[in-house]
Structure 1
Amino acid sequence: MTATLSETARRARVAASSGFAAQGFVYATLLTNLNRFKDRYGVDDGQITLVVLGVCVMAALGTLVADRVARTESGSRAVLGVGLLVIAAAVVVASVAPGFGVLVAGFLVFGVGMGMVDAGTNMQAVAIQHEYGRSLLTGFYASWSVGGIIGAVLVAVTAGRVPDEPVAVATLTGALVAGAASVLVLASGWRGATVAVRADGVARPDEALAFPAADGSKPLVPWGAVVLLGLGVVAFYVADTAISTWSTIYLDDVMLASASFAPLGYAAYLTTTLGSRLAGDPLVRRWGRVVVLRGGALVGAAGLVLVVAAPGQWAALAGFAVAGAGLGVIAPLCFSAAGDVAPGHADAVVARLNVFNYVGAVLGGVLVGAIGSTSSLGLGFIVPIVLVVAVAVLAGRFGVARRVGTPATAGSGAGG
C-alpha cells in the first residue's frame, strides 16, 4: 500500500468510525427515552411495540435503497453520508413532536436512515478492512459502542435536569452528532470501486453477487453462505434489540428501578460490549473467528440467563453487563465473514446480509415486547437465549470460506 493510499485509508477509517459512533449515540438516546415517550404521550408497551415494528420495516426499505445507491459511482460513501443526514432530520422531528402521530412519523423516517447507515457503515468497514489486510470489524463496532455509551449516560445524567417539554433536549443532540459525522464521511469516506465488472469490462450491478459457474454456463449465487451468516446476524440482533429496546423499561417497570438507574442497564451492556469489541480483533488474529465467536455466544447466553433469573435490579444490571461481554463480537464477525463469501462484491453481500438485521430486530423488539405484554417481560429474554446458543453450536461454519471451483477450506478467521 503506497503512502498516499495508506493516508486515504486511514482517513476513511476515521470517517467510518465516526459513522458507527454517531449511530450508536442516536440509537441510545432514542431508545433509553422510550419510557419518557410513553409517559409524554400516554401510550403503552403495545403501541411502542408497533412503533418498533414500523422502524424495522422502514429500515429494511432503507437497506434496499442503500443497495441501489452503493452500485452507483457514488458508492457506499454516499449511502452512509446521506443516511446520517436522514437520521439527523428524523431526530429533530421526534424531539419536537407535538403529538404521538408526529413522533411515529419521526421514528419511521429514522428507520429509513438507520437502514442506510447500517448498510453503509458495514460496506465501508468491510472495504477498509480489505485494504488494510487484517481484522478491523470489531474495532469499528467498538466505535458504535462508545457512541451508545455516551448517549445512554447522557440520558441518565440529564434525567429530570433538562426539559422534555416541549422539546426533548437530550435526544435533539443526536441531530448535531449525526450531521457532523455525515460531513466527515462525505469528505473522507472510502471511495473504492464497488460495482462488479464482467470480463468484457461492462458493469453488471444487478449481478453483484453472481459468480460464474464451474462450467461457465450461468452465474452461481452463494445464498447458502449468505443465509448462514444471516442466522448469526439474526441471533445477535434479537438479543441486542431486546436489550436496547426493553432493558430500560424492564428495570423501570419490573425491577422498580429509579429513573436515573433504569438507563444504566443499557449503559452497562454497551460498556462490556465495547470491551469485547476492543479485544475482538486481537483475539481473532490470535485464535481465529470460530473460537472467538463460540466463546462470545456462550458468554452472551449466560448473561441473558442471569437477566431472566435476576431477583432484583442489581442482578439484572449484572446480567446485561455479562451479556454485552459476549454478544459484542457476534455481528462484526458475521459481517467480517461476508468478505469471504464473494470477494470483490462485498457491498452486495453486506446489503443482503443487513436485511437479516431487521428480521432479528423485529423478533427482539416486537416478539419480546409481545411476550411481555401477555406474561412477563423477563420471559421475553428467553427467545434470544435460544438463538444465541444456536450460534455457539453453528460457530464452526463461520470459519469456512467457499470459493467457486474450489473445495471449502477452513479459514483462519482473521476477518479479511
Structure 2
Amino acid sequence: MTTTPSTTRPAHTTAWRNAVFATFALNGLGAATWAIRIPSIRDQLELSTSFVGYLILGVSIGSIVGLVLASHVIQWIGGRRTIAAMLLVCALALVGIGLGTSVLGSFGVVVAAMAAYGFGSAICDVAMNVEGAAVEKVIGRTLMPLFHASWSAGMVVGTTIGTALVFAHVDIAVHTIGMAALLLVGALLAPRAIPRVATHADTGEAVAHVSFRDRMAIWLEPRTLAIGLIALGMAFTEGSANDWLALGMVDDRGLENGQGAALFTVFTAAMMVGRIAGGPLIDRFGRVVVLWITGAAAAVGVALVIFVPVIPVAVVGIVLWGVGASLGFPIAMSAAADDPARAAARVSAVATLGYCAFLVGPPLIGLVGEHVGILNALLIVFVLIVLATLAAPAARPPRGARGRAAASEPAASESRG
C-alpha cells in the first residue's frame, strides 16, 4: 500500500512512517512474549524437547496459512484494516497461550492459540513490510532495516519484561494478558495514520488491481524465488535463536531459565543494533555486499555458540549471530518490493518462503536435538546461512527499478553522477 508525496503532506508522511514503526514494535513485543516463555511452558506442561518443537510448529503452521492468504487479504481490505485486525488476533492468541498453560494446562489449547498467533502475526508482517517499503520509496532513503530494528526493539522490551517476570516467578497468564492489553491498544491507535488509498510513490496514480492469477504467477519468477531463499535462510537463522537459544543454553550449557532468557535478550539487542546501523551501510555499499558480510558474521557466531562451551565466548558468538542475522530479512523485503505495483504479492511470496523456515525448523531442530543436543542441531542453521549468503546477488535491484530500490546498490546508481 503506497501513497505519493504529491498527495501526502509531509506531516501525514511522518505520521505514516511512525505508524509503521509502531506496528513493527508491537509485532516484536508480541513475539517476545511467547518466545521468552518457552522454557516455562515446557516445564509447566512437562514437554519433551521434540514436543516443544511440535508446540512451536503450531505458530509455524498458522504463519504459513496467514502468509499464503496475506496478499489477498491486503488486496481485499487494505493495509490499514489488515494491520488493525491482525494485531487484535495476536492479542487474543496471547491470552489463549497464557490461560492454556497456567489455568487449563492443555497442550492442545496452547498449540491452537500459538497457531492463531502465527496466523495473525504473519499477515500483519506482510502488511507492515508492504507499508514500510512504500514509506521507504516516498521518503527516498533506506528505512527497512530501521523498521525491522523497531521490531527488534519491541523484542528487546518484550524479552526484558519477560526475563524480569521469569525471575520474579510471575504466572504466565498474568504476563500474556498484560502484553495482550498493550497489543489491543496498539491495534486501535497505530493504523489510524496509515493511508486508506494505494497509489504509486513516483507517479501518484492509483495502484491497479492485481488479479488472483497474477498474484499466484509471481511464484514462478526466478528472482522472487532466489530472494525467497535469502529470506528463508536468514529467517531460519533468526527464528532458531528465537525458538531454541534460551532452551539450548539451559539444557546443553547447564544455565538456569532466567540466565537462558538473559542470553536471548542479548541476541535481540544485537539484532536491534545491527538493524539501526544497517540502513547507511546498505546505501553506501549496496544490498549484496552487506548480505555477504553479515552472512559471514552470522556463520561465525553460530559456530562459536555450538562448538565453544565457554559462556563469555558464547556471548560473543550470540552477538555476532544477532548482528549477522539482522539485515537479511529486511533486505529481502525491500528487494521483493522493488516494483510497487506487485509489492504485496511479491512480499507475501518471499515472506512465505522465509517462514517455511519456521514451519520446518522447529520440529527438525527439536527432533535432531533430541539425539545430539539442541546446540549441535543448530549446525542446520549454519548450512542455511551459507546458502542464503550465496543467493545474495538476487537482492540487487533490477536495471531501471524505481524509487529507493534503484539507489540502494552502488552498481546501479552510477548515472546519478
- After TM superposition, the structure 1 stretch with the greater mean CA deviation from structure 2, 354-363 or 241-250, is 354-363
Structure 1, unaligned stretches of length 5 or more?
211-218
Q: Which of 209, 220, 223 does residue 221 from structure 2 map onto? A: 223
Count residues with an aligned counterpart: 397
Structure 2, unaligned stretches of length 5 or more?
none
Q: Which of 150, 160, 164 does residue 143 from structure 1 map onto? A: 150
The aligned residue for residue 413 of structure 1 is 409
**2:234 & 2:145 partners in 1: Cα distance?**
14
The aligned residue for residue 230 of structure 2 is 232
Question: Is 1:172 matched up with 2:160?
Answer: no
Q: Structure 1's 402 and 363: CA in aligned 2 closer, same or farther, altered over 3 A? A: farther
The aligned residue for residue 61 of structure 1 is 65
The aligned residue for residue 216 of structure 1 is none
Asked if 1 retains the 8 angstrom alpha-carbon contact of 2:218 and 2:346, the reply is no
- The one-letter code matched in structure 2 to 1:91 is L
Question: Is 1:318 matched up with 2:316?
Answer: yes
Asked if 2 retains the 8 angstrom alpha-carbon contact of 1:83 and 1:117, the reply is yes
Question: Is 1:346 matched up with 2:343?
Answer: yes
Distance apart, 1:310 and its partner CA: 2.1
**1:314 & 1:176 partners in 2: Cα distance?**
37
The aligned residue for residue 19 of structure 1 is 23
Distance apart, 1:207 and its partner CA: 4.5
Could you say what secondary structure the match of 1:43 adopts?
coil
The aligned residue for residue 267 of structure 2 is 269
Distance apart, 1:412 and its partner CA: 4.2
Could you say what secondary structure the match of 1:261 adopts?
helix
Asked if 1 retains the 8 angstrom alpha-carbon contact of 2:62 and 2:115, the reply is yes
Distance apart, 1:117 and its partner CA: 1.6
Q: Structure 1's 388 and 148: CA in aligned 2 closer, same or farther, altered over 3 A? A: same
Distance apart, 1:312 and its partner CA: 3.1
**2:317 & 2:366 partners in 1: Cα distance?**
19
Question: Is 1:191 matched up with 2:190?
Answer: no
**1:239 & 1:329 partners in 2: Cα distance?**
11
Q: Deviations over 1:393-415 (max 9, x none)?
A: 332332141679xxxx9974389
- % identity of equivalent residues: 25
Query: Normalised by the size of structure 2, how large is the TM-score?
Result: 0.88
Distance apart, 1:258 and its partner CA: 2.0
- The one-letter code matched in structure 2 to 1:357 is G
Question: Is 1:91 matched up with 2:89?
Answer: no
Q: Structure 1's 83 and 159: CA in aligned 2 closer, same or farther, altered over 3 A? A: same
TM alignment of 1:222-371, pairs within 5 A: 223-340=221-338, 342-371=339-368
**2:185 & 2:323 partners in 1: Cα distance?**
30
Q: Deviations over 1:84-112 (max 9, x none)?
A: 10000000111122122222221121121
Asked if 1 retains the 8 angstrom alpha-carbon contact of 2:50 and 2:370, the reply is yes
Q: Deviations over 1:363-394 (max 9, x none)?
A: 33222222101212111111111111223233
Question: Is 1:104 matched up with 2:111?
Answer: yes
Asked if 2 retains the 8 angstrom alpha-carbon contact of 1:57 and 1:358, the reply is no
Asked if 2 retains the 8 angstrom alpha-carbon contact of 1:300 and 1:388, the reply is yes
Query: Normalised by the size of structure 1, how large is the TM-score?
Result: 0.88
Q: Structure 1's 19 and 116: CA in aligned 2 closer, same or farther, altered over 3 A? A: same
Asked if 2 retains the 8 angstrom alpha-carbon contact of 1:46 and 1:370, the reply is yes
**1:281 & 1:325 partners in 2: Cα distance?**
13
- The one-letter code matched in structure 2 to 1:413 is E
Q: Structure 1's 299 and 192: CA in aligned 2 closer, same or farther, altered over 3 A? A: farther
Q: Structure 1's 400 and 60: CA in aligned 2 closer, same or farther, altered over 3 A? A: same
**2:294 & 2:69 partners in 1: Cα distance?**
32
Q: Which of 363, 378, 390 does residue 393 from structure 1 map onto? A: 390
* Two-structure CA RMSD over aligned residues (Å): 2.7
Distance apart, 1:236 and its partner CA: 0.7
**1:264 & 1:7 partners in 2: Cα distance?**
39
**1:62 & 1:353 partners in 2: Cα distance?**
13
- The one-letter code matched in structure 1 to 2:250 is D
**2:343 & 2:335 partners in 1: Cα distance?**
10
Q: Structure 1's 6 and 222: CA in aligned 2 closer, same or farther, altered over 3 A? A: farther
